[in-house]
Copies of this chain bind each other. A is one copy, B any other.
Amino acid sequence: MNMNRTFTIRQLTKEFDVTARTLRFYEDEGLIAPERRGQTRIYGGRDRARIILILRGRRVGFSLSEIREILDLYDTHHDGGVAQTLHARKKFEEQLHKLERQKVDIEESLIELKRAITTIDDAVAKGRLQSSALVQHAAE
C-alpha cells in the first residue's frame, strides 16, 4: 500500500492514543527511528508499523526490552548471517510459547469470570434481588 506515507508526531499520538513523550521515549530506546525535517520528527510507514507492534506487545504484557528484541529479530533475520537467522528462529519460538501460555491463562480467567457472572445472574433470577434494585442499577 502507501508504505511511503509520512506522519507527524501528533497524527500518531491521536491515532494510537499515546502521548508524544511516549513516542520520543521509544525513539530514545531505539524502538523506532523517524527521520527529521530540520529538527522535527517525520515518521514513515515503517515507523508506524513498528508502533503498532510495540503497542500490541505492551497490551499482551511484554516489556519494552522484550519488544525491542522482537523488533530486532524482524530486522536482522533478513540481512543477518546464518547464525543470526537461526538465533532469531529460536527467539521467535520462545515468544510463541510464552504467548501460548498466556492464551491458556486468559482462557482460564475467562471461564472463571463467566462462571462468576452466571452465578450472580442465577441469584437474580431466583428473586433474591428485588426488581426495584435492578431498575435503580440500570438507570445509573
What residues on B are CB-neighbors of A85 within 8 Å?
120, 123, 129
Determine the main DSSP class of A at the interface with B. helix
Question: How far apart are A12's CB and chain B's nearest CB, in angstroms?
Answer: 19
A20 within 8 A of B: no
Q: Which of A88-118 contact B (CB under 8 A)?
A: 88-89, 92-93, 95-96, 99-103, 105-110, 113-114, 116-117
Q: Is the CB of A99 within 8 A of B92?
A: no
Q: Which A positions have Cβ atoms within 8 angstroms of B?
A: 56-57, 59-61, 73-74, 77, 82-83, 85-89, 92-93, 95-96, 99-103, 105-110, 113-114, 116-117, 120-121, 123, 129-130, 133-134, 136-137
